[in-house]
Amino acid sequence: MYTRVSSREQQLEGFSLLAQSKLLREYAENNELRIVRSFEDVETAKASGRKQFDEMTKYLKRSRSCRVLLVEKTDRLYRNFRDAVAVEDLDVKVHFVKEGQVISKDSKSQAVLIYGFNIVLARHYSNNLREEVKKGMREKALQGIYPGHAPFGYRNNKADRTIDVDPIDAPIVIRIYELYATGLHSLSSLVRAMRMETGRKISRNNMHLILKNVFYTGFFEWSGQTYPGTHPLFLDHALFERVQSVLGSHNRPKYSKQKIAFRGIMRCAYDGCMITGDVQKGKYVYYRCTGNHGKCELPRFREEDMAERLGEPLKGLQMPKDAVTRIISTVNKDRRYLADKTRAEQARRIFELGNNAYSLYVSHDMNEKASLLNSLLLNCSIDADNVVPTYRRPFDMISKRAGLEEWSQYLATEV
């Protein structure tokens, strides 16, 4: 017999492995069947594939004396058409107990037709469940809560479903930043130094990820976008910026034929066509109008020049610190936020992201720059001399009011 649940379904009544197993064992007893092997899968968002399903198919291929498979219903056995083909090739009788069907190579056409419909519905159920999980994670990200595994220095609080500072690892992160900010260490020497000081073995690649992770500044990246987070901070922002400067001086961007960082986020101001990019001489990236409407007068731009131009709109989100302070003070006093501190904190992070967007931008590599732009801008219109951005909300509002004395009061009423 085979039983399966996702980690999400396990919490719902009627989906548990125990409930499925009880049903199948009662069915076997009532039909004078002896269960010789049982297989069960618990799928999680982190681990793809079904190990026990694969083990079951191997067992049925080897054991020719066992030719009956018991399962609760179609969507417990199949998630897609490949699963159905794998079972059909075994030449076994499959009893779908809840659906009251027995399917084999000798089944009548009417039964096979209904069986086919059930496979389609099982696939739809699986796809819908996957979409719901993704939607839930995105909603969590919009609320400022990182939906993944907490980075080094933090830990997941399973009880509250939030992220807390790890009292053991957080001081190690601070020490990593302090050492690298001196400019005296390479990544390899930093790995050795931290191993000697703390006994922790951190790989060179993971060390690099720690040094570039904007999570320590109050933001996080999820599905290609940057979100303001609500997690507590323990790393000084100025120290983070010093480390980014050191990283920038030690590393140079590497280009590949497959990655054109800014492709898809710009349009030509002359004819409205998309601006694309290509690699010349195996390493130089140039951007140009696609020219779908005919010859265009937009010149070509090297990626470094394009990156510099695209960074200019982010300066339009910078605000005087005293104005930010007044806004946050107003938000915290607003009756709409008194009962919802998470929203007030998220508002603060949004203003901080706008204020620090340009400094974050210049410290990142090309692909990370593009990710940040996608989080702040809907698109850009490019001509030979100018970049005209269209900001996402609420950054469009911040851009419009930046530089005006009355803007802090305006934003406090609109946030």
| More confident site: 50 or 211 | 211
Q: Looking at residue 45, what is its pLDDT?
A: 46
Q: Looking at residue 215, what is its pLDDT?
A: 92
Name the helix (H) or strand (E) containing 285. Answer: strand 284-289
| More confident site: 409 or 288 | 288
| More confident site: 252 or 232 | 232
- Summarize the confidence of residues 221-246 as an average pLDDT: 87
Q: Quickly state the pLDDT bin for 24 (edges 50, 70, 90).
A: very high
Mean of the per-residue pLDDT values of the chain: 81
Q: Looking at residue 58, what is its pLDDT?
A: 93
Q: What Cα–Cα distance (Å) separates residue 207 from each residue in 49, 189, 195, 303, 327? A: 30, 11, 12, 27, 37
Q: Which DSSP state fits 300?
A: P
HSE-CB for 149 with a 13 A CA cutoff: 3
Of 22-36, 115-129, 270-284, the least confident: 115-129
Name the helix (H) or strand (E) containing 250. Answer: helix 237-250
Q: Regarding the domain delimited by 2-140, which CATH topology (the fold level of the hierarchy) does it fall under?
A: Rossmann fold (3.40.50)
Q: Looking at residue 253, what is its pLDDT?
A: 44
CA torsion, ordered 63, 69, 74, 76, to nearest 10 deg? -80
HSE-CB for 366 with a 13 A CA cutoff: 21
Q: For the chain, what percent of residues have pLDDT higher than 70? A: 80
pLDDT tens for 285-337 read: 899 998 877 888 899 999 999 999 998 888 888 777 777 777 767 766 655 55
Inform me whether the pLDDT recorded for 255 exceeds 50: no
Give the pTM.
0.41
Inform me whether the pLDDT recorded for 32 exceeds 90: yes
Same fold, 2-140 and 154-250: no
To which residue do tokens 């003070």 refer? Answer: 329
Q: Looking at residue 127, what is its pLDDT?
A: 64
Q: Quickly state the pLDDT bin for 211 (edges 50, 70, 90).
A: very high
Left (φ > 0), alpha (ψ -120 to 50) or beta: where does 235 sit?
beta
Domain boundaries, the chain: 2-140, 154-250, 303-414
CB contact at 8 A, 129 and 6: yes
pLDDT tens for 58-77 read: 999 998 899 999 999 888 88
Ordered DSSP codes for 323-347: HHHHHHHHHHH-HHHHT-HHHHHHH
413: tokens are 């009423």
Q: Quickly state the pLDDT bin for 339 (edges 50, 70, 90).
A: low
Inform me whether the pLDDT recorded for 169 exceeds 90: yes
- Summarize the confidence of residues 189-207 as an average pLDDT: 90
Instruction: Give dist(CA 153, CA 135) in Å, integer.
Output: 27
| More confident site: 82 or 30 | 30
Of 111-115, 121-125, 247-251, 308-312, the least confident: 121-125
Q: What is the CATH superfamily name and number for domain 154-250?
A: Putative Large Serine Recombinase; Chain B, Domain 2 (3.90.1750.20)
Three-state secondary structure readout of 133-152: HHHHHHHHHHCCCCCCCCCC
49: tokens are 């594939």
